[in-house]
Amino acid sequence: MILNRVERGRYLDSVALMRLSRRLAAQPGVENAALMIGTPSNKALLRDAGLLAKEGDAAGPNDLIIAIRGADHAARSALDAALELDDAQRPSQLPRAKTLAGALDTLPRANLALISVPGDFAADEARKALGAGLHTLIFSSGVSIEEERALKALAREKGLLLMGPDCGTAFIAGTPLAFANALPRGDIGIISASGTGAQEVSCLIARLGSGVSHIIGVGGRDLDERVGALATLAAIDALEADPATKTMVLISKPPAPKVADAVRERLGRAKKKHVVCFLGQDDTTLQAAAEMATGRKIETPRSGLPRVRGRVEALYCGGTLCSEAELIFRRRGLTGHRFIDLGDERYTRGRPHPMIEPELRNEHIAAALKDPAVGVILVDVVLGYGAHADPAAVLLQQPLNKPVIASVVGTDRDPQVRARQVAALEQAGIHVAASNAQAAELAANIVS
């Protein structure tokens, strides 16, 4: 049966909603569960996922919909437990407020706002934050590119940073925001249009013995010609003025040519060392960016893996990591392999992102293990704040009777502890490469 409960005027941010959805879906007798704010787009997602009942359909954009599908008793129990789970995970000592104005009354010295609301409302909330003189990170997606440019132009006028929209990772003055890792402080500043790209580079920098001053996420469309790299250029100015930053690293997929020229011209005037990693150009990789920033190399050990027949099935949680692996295969002229970004909207409609709920990938792994055309499986395991508490354990829920190659993005300071995750994977027979680029190269070597 499908049950919905509507909590009028109740709001939870998207990360909290995704975590609660995962915990409810894991309860015995529950087939699927989701908690969403009652915007038209969210109700459409619930409808498509087979989770919307008439009570939820009547919810408004200021309401919270709790949707459960499962056996009668289990569904009712999960519905009753939903908000108790939320209350149990909230630190009681943290201050709370219902509005931005109330938050500023509580924390008058705050200088940064993180916007995590449905995309329909994110631009308005970001405009309020900028108007209050706050640097602003928009975690939300669904903001139009016209609104994005307008917000970034407003931020530039006010001398503020506007990170995002769809900014999944930042690390500001030692504070991780959204999906970020526990990193050592250092003198390398990162400007990134990719969340998992920034995580990979920053964690490799940490493992090479250096540290990070800041990670400024700019959103995936910032280097689009319609936005004109407004946030990237502002971030370059900020890092150049920051005495704690000695080296700047810029990470992005290939920008529009005119935008690339403007960014390179600005970097050419910078007095600090800088590294540019435009994936898809100049045969660069995220690993190479970390190595150039630190002046040290990551070893490439011999794998000892035998050659295999069949294609590579690459099942990724991180979109940029997936793109990097596919680029590596393309450069080598390898075709017929499949690369799937499981964080893409077509896989996450009505479900949490696979970094939060990696069980999503197990369905695809099971299919790949049965497919005689698949010779090797390539995966990423992403750690850090906001990510699943034990993604290695989820990956190992089924016997793996084919070669699996993995990269683990994270540090030993992360809640999941990278060394423990690597040890669990290796004990199960999975080959763990030192970086995503090395994992892709290894997979290419054994099938080519």
- Topology of domain 2-89 in CATH is Alpha-Beta Plaits (3.30.70)
For 104-116, b/e burial (b = at least 16 CB within 10 A) is beeeeeeebbbbb
Token pair for 109: 């010295």
Question: What is the enclosing helix (H) or strand (E) of 68?
Answer: strand 64-70
Are 119 and 140 in contact by the 8 Å Cβ rule? The answer is: yes
Instruction: Give the model confidence (pLDDT) of 332-359 as tens digits.
Output: 999 999 999 998 878 876 567 889 888 8
Count other C-beta atoms under 10 Å from residue 92's C-beta. 6
Diameter over CA atoms, the chain:
66
Strands ordered across the beta sheet of 64-70: 2-7, 64-70, 30-37
**What number does CATH give the domain 311-447?**
3.40.50.261
Global confidence as pTM: 0.87
**Residues composing the chain:** 448
Q: Is the pLDDT of residue 92 over 70?
A: no
Count other C-beta atoms under 10 Å from residue 26's C-beta. 12
Count other C-beta atoms under 10 Å from residue 364's C-beta. 18
Q: Where are the domains of the chain?
A: 2-89, 100-294, 311-447
**252 — phi, psi (to 5°)?**
-165, 160
- First and final C-alpha spacing in the chain: 49
Q: Is the pLDDT of residue 87 over 60?
A: no
Residues in a beta bridge with 113: 136
Query: Which CATH class for the 100-294 domain?
Result: alpha beta
Residue 304 CA to its chain's centroid (Å): 32
Instruction: Give the model confidence (pLDDT) of 130-155 as tens digits.
Output: 999 999 999 988 899 999 999 999 99
pLDDT of residue 353: 84
Are 421 and 410 in contact by the 8 Å Cβ rule? The answer is: yes
Topology alike, domains 100-294 and 311-447 = yes
Are 188 and 292 in contact by the 8 Å Cβ rule? The answer is: no
